[in-house]
């Protein structure tokens, strides 16, 4: 369905290498270009000698270290367990949040499954709710600030009304495989108290 697929291995993702990511493709030409880009744009020149190479195009040092690769490989062996656990946690959040005035993320389509690297919800008065949860040591976060709101990619937010509507109430609840039932219950209790403070 796509020419390239990108995966992040940041520590908050389902599988981590400590940092970094991967790109997959079934196009040999794109794969070769990606390898060059991740290796300083270097092209071997064996016709000039076994040592010879050229930097033929712009590139960067994007190689994964052996230690990071070993971590990633060990994480892949646990992928099924991680995804299953994240789905259990997401399902429980859906039950616990059913009576609260929050918007929930879309459920996975029939025959599909979500990896739930995050559990984002929509809340009223996000700043108040965020501050209340953080004050009670519930580590919520906003994922993510739209690119057009950053100086490098600045654009008028009015040009993105749907994104603005979602962003206005976006808040990610804690979700990681070792999250206990008691911790999850506490997240929801603190969220419920914070939401009481938003009632008009």
Is residue 200 over pLDDT 60? Answer: no
Residue 86 sits in the same domain as residue 128: yes
Residue 91 sits in the same domain as residue 169: yes
Rounded to a whole number, what is the distance in angstroms from the first to the last CA of the chain? 47
The string of pLDDT tens digits covering residues 87-125 is 999 999 999 999 999 999 998 899 999 999 999 999 999
E strands of 74-116, at which residues?
none
User: Residue 198: what pLDDT?
Assistant: 79
Domain stop point among 51, 76, 101: 76
Residue 64 sits in the same domain as residue 106: no
Q: Across the strands, what pairs with 103?
A: 122
User: Residue 197: what pLDDT?
Assistant: 77
Is residue 176 over pLDDT 70? Answer: yes
Domain stop point among 55, 76, 97: 76
Is residue 166 over pLDDT 60? Answer: yes
For the question of whether the overall pTM of this predicted structure is more than 0.75, the answer is yes
Contact yes or no for 113/86 (Cβ under 8 A): no
Structural domain range at position 71? 5-76
Residue 59 sits in the same domain as residue 98: no
- Counting the structural domains of the chain, the total is 2
Domain stop point among 30, 54, 76: 76
Q: Closest by alpha carbon to 128, among 174, 171, 175, 173? A: 171
The string of pLDDT tens digits covering residues 31-89 is 999 999 999 999 999 999 999 999 989 999 999 999 999 999 999 999 999 999 999 99
Residue 54 sits in the same domain as residue 72: yes
On average, the pLDDT of the chain sits at 95
Residue 109 sits in the same domain as residue 178: yes
């Amino acid at each position: 369905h796509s020419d390239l697929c990108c995966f992040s291995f940041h520590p908050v993702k389902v599988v981590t290498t400590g940092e970094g990511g991967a790109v997959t493709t079934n196009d040999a030409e794109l794969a070769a270009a990606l390898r060059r880009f991740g290796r300083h744009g270097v092209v071997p020149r064996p016709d000039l000698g076994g040592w010879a190479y050229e930097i033929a195009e712009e590139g960067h040092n994007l190689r994964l270290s052996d230690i990071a690769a070993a971590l990633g490989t060990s994480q892949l062996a646990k992928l099924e367990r991680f995804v299953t656990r994240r789905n259990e946690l997401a399902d429980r959040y859906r039950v616990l949040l059913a009576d609260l005035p929050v918007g929930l993320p879309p459920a996975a389509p029939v025959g599909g499954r979500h990896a739930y690297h995050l559990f984002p919800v929509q809340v009223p008065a996000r700043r108040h709710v965020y501050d209340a949860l953080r004050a009670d040591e519930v580590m919520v976060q906003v994922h993510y600030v739209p690119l057009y709101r950053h100086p490098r990619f600045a654009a008028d937010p009015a040009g993105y009304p749907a994104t603005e509507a979602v962003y206005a109430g976006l808040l990610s609840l804690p979700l990681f495989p070792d999250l206990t039932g008691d911790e999850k219950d506490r997240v929801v209790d603190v969220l419920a108290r914070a939401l009481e403070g938003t009632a008009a």
